[in-house]
Amino acid sequence: MAEPIKAEIFGSLPGGDVVEAFDLKGPAGLSARVITLGGIVTHLRAPDRRGDAADVVLGFNNLAGYLAPHPYFGAIAGRVAGRISQGRFQLDGREYSLACNDPPNHLHGGDRGFDKRLWNSEPLDRADGAASLRLSRLSADGEEGYPGNLRVSVIYTVTAANELVIETEATTDRPTPVNLTHHSYFNLAGEGSCSVESHQLQVFAGSYAPADAASGLTGRREPVTDNDLRTPKRLGDVIPNLRGRHGDLYFIDRAAPAGLVDVARLVDPASGRAMTVRSTETCVQFYTGVGLDGTLVGKSGRKYGPFAGLCLECEGFPDGVNRPELGNIVLRPGEVSRHTTVYAFSTL
């Protein structure tokens, strides 16, 4: 029988609302801490080949760090994760304008996306005893310029197989674009320890979506070239060949249109930690962490410089409301959007 999941006070927002923290512990050594602000995973501890656990995601020890500007550490990004070109879209004959918070584009839900919102919490009792937490909220009609009252939930579960499972569900009363993702920055050597350039990465994708100089998607699908990661490669060898050393949005290889498939595999040879990513989503955004510039100090007291952590954001095609032929992300009344992403940890 798993230990009951209890809420702890992580801090209070300026208006007085309390931010709770929940610890999800698995019997095989994986554990996660999740807070109700932004659905943020603040800590994720995974064992190495000797059985020693280390925190493998970037972030902060206190609420103040998450209230200050930061690059979406560990958060749920939405209502639409990624960039909507020019911050506008047409839906059923009506044009909508969104905040261009990453000029000239709209990024990760706007000025106050899901990452900056307080979520309701509910620990869950599962038949298998796994530690599980549901976060939910109502994104009201007009929030950040989006149409429709969107009810959304995210379930975090830590399993006996050392998996962090993230399940999302959303319904709406008006047509609206929906594209959620989890935005942890991973470093399998341990956060704050070194750059991820010595990690090996494999991404199961033969095509990608080219981006322009402002990281806006150009609306094309092309075969991978210098960004081909279908065989494992050392990141230090790959990063110089990537556009702006940033990383790309890949279309996940799929034999069937639905179900969990392998998306990526990340390995740290030094610690022996490995992480396999599986998802029901159609795309994955690989981000190298090039924008980290040493101004943020993390949980270990060390500065996060370039490539201190990388992201593997499983999602739909972010600009799908404008380019449905590349992946329609419009949710309509009576429909339910459900997706699952699994971060599975093992050792070499």
pLDDT digits (tens, 9 = 90+) for 321-338: 999 999 999 999 999 999
Residue from 144, 281, 313, 315 carrying the catalytic annotation:
313
Question: Which residues have a Cβ under 8 Å from the Cβ of 240 and sit 6 or more positions away?
Answer: none
CA 67/CA 202 separation, integer angstroms: 34
Residue 111 has a CB neighbour count (10 Å cut-off) of 13
- In the chain, domain spans: 7-347
Rounded-to-integer distance, Cα 329 and Cα 144, Å = 17
Does residue 183 have an active-site annotation?
A: yes
| 313 among known catalytic residues | yes
Is the Cβ–Cβ distance between 138 and 170 less than 8 Å?
no
Q: Catalytic residue among 183, 191, 315, 339, which?
A: 183
Pure H helices in the chain: 63-67, 235-238
What is the residue-level pLDDT of the chain in tens, covering all 348 positions? 456 788 999 999 999 999 999 999 999 999 999 999 999 999 999 999 999 999 999 999 999 999 999 999 999 999 999 999 999 999 999 999 999 999 999 999 999 999 999 999 999 999 899 999 999 999 999 999 999 999 999 999 999 999 999 999 999 999 999 999 999 999 999 999 999 999 999 999 999 999 998 899 999 999 999 999 999 999 999 999 999 999 999 999 998 778 999 999 999 999 999 999 999 999 999 999 999 999 999 999 999 999 999 999 999 999 999 999 999 999 999 999 999 999 999 999
Written as one letter, the residue type at 99 is A
Closest CA to 89 of 345, 346, 291, 322: 322
Contact status, residue 154 vs residue 34, Cβ threshold 8 Å: no
Nearest to 19 by CA among 41, 46, 38, 45: 38
Neighbouring CB atoms inside 10 A of 281's CB total 23
DSSP 205: -
- Write down the pTM of the prediction: 0.96
Residue-wise pLDDT tens digits, 134-174 = 999 999 999 999 999 999 999 999 999 999 999 999 999 99
From 2.70.98.10, 3.30.930.10, 2.10.260.10, 2.30.110.10, which CATH number describes the 7-347 domain?
Answer: 2.70.98.10
